[in-house]
Amino acid sequence: MEKKRGLLIGRMQPVHNGHIQVIKETLKDVDEIIIGIGSAQLSHTLKDPFTAGERVMMLTQALSENSIKHRHYYIIPMEDIQLNAVWPAHVKMMTPPFSKVFTGNPLVDRLFREEGYDVTRPPLFNREELSGTEVRYRMLHDENWESLVPQATVDIVSEVDGIQRLKDLSKKEVSDLKKRE
Ligand code: NAD
């Protein structure tokens, strides 16, 4: 029988518990989920501190921690392109075939809907706290960020000295840091 495949793209800066929840949710609906690591070309900024490779490690280990079997997902780093209107074609070229798109991001939703894809907005889980902006804010301000992320993210951030990386970046880039909303 043909497999039902879906796509979920996120910057995952860093991977947090909301991402894991939403991946679990998508796997109730499709056999395989293609997880695009968005803005793969970006790293070492306050908004995008972690490399694509570090985010792949976080996600792979977090899915394993959550007993999600490897046969149910693909992880594919995806660089941004300048042309929003042709971005879905670019994504399609880089991924296994898929029929559904899962996203809470209005631009991603709009672009794939215009190409005729079946787009679903999964429920948001504790969005007040489970957001990359909140996790990075807490990392920078020595607040409790560990409770918002899988153990894998804690481990990789420690391995790559991620907190110090953010603090070093903040010395130059304090004006770029988004305020906690
Ligand atoms: P994100 O990491 O903020 O979120 C990823 C997904 O997880 C989203 O669908 C989001 O709704 C979901 N999510 C996050 N927190 C959640 C929570 N608490 N509960 C439930 N779901 C939650 O990433 P994003 O900003 O949506 O990533 C989109 C990516 O697509 C970016 O990298 C962007 O650059 C890329 N993009 C590129 C182009 C282009 O290259 N032209 C165009 C559009 C989008």
Identify the residue whose C-alpha is closest to ligand 1 atom 35: 38
The 8-class DSSP code of residue 4 comes to P
Identify the residue whose C-alpha is closest to ligand 1 atom 32: 38
What is the reported pLDDT for 175?
Answer: 57
Q: Which atom of ligand 1 is nearest to the CA of 38?
A: 32
CA atoms within 13 A on the CB side of 52: 15
Nearest to 124 by CA among 139, 136, 112, 106: 106
The fraction of the chain above a pLDDT of 90, given in percent, is 92
Please report which residue ranges of 27-86 form alpha helices under DSSP H. 52-65
pLDDT per residue as tens digits for the range 31-59: 999 999 999 999 999 999 999 999 999 99
Distance of CA 169 from the midpoint of ligand 1 (Å): 23
pLDDT for residue 174 is more than 70? no
pLDDT for residue 94 is more than 80? yes
Distance of CA 40 from the midpoint of ligand 1 (Å): 12
Architecture of domain 5-170: 3-Layer(aba) Sandwich (3.40)
Residue type, 40: A
Please report which residue ranges of the chain form alpha helices under DSSP H. 17-26, 52-65, 87-94, 106-114, 132-140, 151-159, 162-173
Domain boundaries, the chain: 5-170
Identify the residue whose C-alpha is closest to ligand 1 atom 20: 124
What is the reported pLDDT for 6?
Answer: 98
126 by DSSP, 3-state: which? coil
Average pLDDT (92-116) is 98
ipTM: 0.97
What is the reported pLDDT for 172?
Answer: 64
Contact indicator for 32, 74 with CB cutoff of 8 Å:
yes
Distance of CA 103 from the midpoint of ligand 1 (Å): 7
Identify the residue whose C-alpha is closest to ligand 1 atom 11: 104
pLDDT for residue 161 is more than 90? yes
What is the reported pLDDT for 30?
Answer: 98
Contact indicator for 62, 150 with CB cutoff of 8 Å:
yes
User: How many angstroms separate the CA atoms of 61 and 151, rounded?
Assistant: 9
Strand partners, 88: none
Residue 6, ligand 1, Cβ within 6 A: no
Instruction: Please state, in angstroms and as integers, the Cα–Cα distance from residue 2 to each residue in 25, 31, 73, 165, 177, following that order.
Output: 20, 10, 15, 45, 45
pLDDT for residue 176 is more than 80? no
Residue 39, ligand 1, Cβ within 6 A: yes
pLDDT for residue 81 is more than 80? yes
